[in-house]
């Protein structure tokens, strides 16, 4: 499994994150299942405190509607906070590198399960067009770099605008 995880580690290192020392608490839990819908429903039912939406929690509250989407999703990969659930029956020939980069991206960024990434050249489109993505794209890298170069003392709305500006500026620079 070590070589399969290597790509995700490379993606996290690109933005200056290092894996923790042995014995550290995991920040991301990835579960592989042959029936992710049943697994998600069971996890939510058996551990309601873990999955209960927390209103206003660092702007990440997806509410009960988001929790219902996590359980009912037909997607190959779904996530809730630091828990990522992969339905191995829906990977449809994706490579370990593709999957590793996809998992790295969704674990590094708070991606809305309802988001439609079709207009972006992003690994997030992996399951709609697997042949087009061998791994993280330039857009993915720009997004992650912009996301992790933030000032935590800034207002969230301004911070979001700065992330968009950084990505746009990088794309303009590369186009010239």
Q: Confirm if 172 and 157 have CB atoms less than 8 A apart.
A: no
Task: List the domain range (segments joined by +) for residue 57.
Answer: 2-136
* Res 3: pLDDT: 41
Query: Can you say how many angstroms the Cα of residue 46 is from the centroid of all Cα atoms in its chain?
Result: 24
Quick one: 38 and 115 in the same domain? yes
pLDDT at position 4: 44
Q: Are 85 and 154 in a shared domain?
A: no
Residues forming a β-bridge with 34? none
Q: Domain check: are 97 and 172 in the same one?
A: no
Predicted pLDDT of residue 63:
72
Positions in the chain short of pLDDT 70: 1-20, 54-62, 150-161, 163
HSE, side-chain direction, 13 A CA sphere, residue 96: 8
Distance, in Å, from the CA atom of 102 to the CA atom of 108, rounded to the nearest integer, reads 10
pLDDT for the residue 112: 81
Q: Based on the domain organization, do 143 and 71 belong to the same domain?
A: no
pLDDT, position 153: 65
Number of domains in the chain: 2
Starting at the edge strand that comes first in sequence, how are the strands of the sheet with 29-33 ordered?
29-33, 83-87, 77-80
Strand extents, DSSP E, the chain: 29-33, 77-80, 83-87
> Is the same domain home to 61 and 147?
no
Cα–Cα distances in Å, from 95 out to 32, 66, 68, 154, 172?
15, 28, 29, 39, 31
Is residue 37 located within the same domain as residue 121? yes
């Amino acid at each position: 499994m070590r070589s399969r995880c290597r790509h995700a580690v490379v993606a996290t290192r690109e933005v200056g994150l290092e894996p923790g020392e042995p014995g550290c608490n995991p920040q991301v839990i990835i579960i592989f299942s042959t029936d992710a819908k049943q697994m998600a429903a069971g996890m939510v039912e058996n551990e309601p405190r873990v999955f209960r939406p927390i209103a206003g929690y660092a702007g990440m509250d997806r509410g009960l509607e988001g929790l219902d989407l996590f359980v009912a999703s037909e997607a190959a990969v779904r996530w809730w906070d630091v828990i990522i659930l992969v339905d191995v029956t829906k990977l449809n020939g994706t490579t370990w590198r593709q999957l590793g980069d996809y998992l790295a991206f969704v674990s590094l960024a708070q991606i809305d399960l309802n988001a439609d990434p079709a207009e972006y050249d992003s690994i997030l489109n992996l399951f709609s067009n697997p042949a087009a993505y061998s791994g993280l794209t330039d857009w993915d890298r720009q997004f992650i770099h912009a996301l992790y170069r933030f000032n935590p003392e800034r207002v969230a709305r301004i911070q979001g605008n700065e992330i968009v500006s950084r990505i746009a500026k990088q794309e303009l620079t590369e186009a010239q």
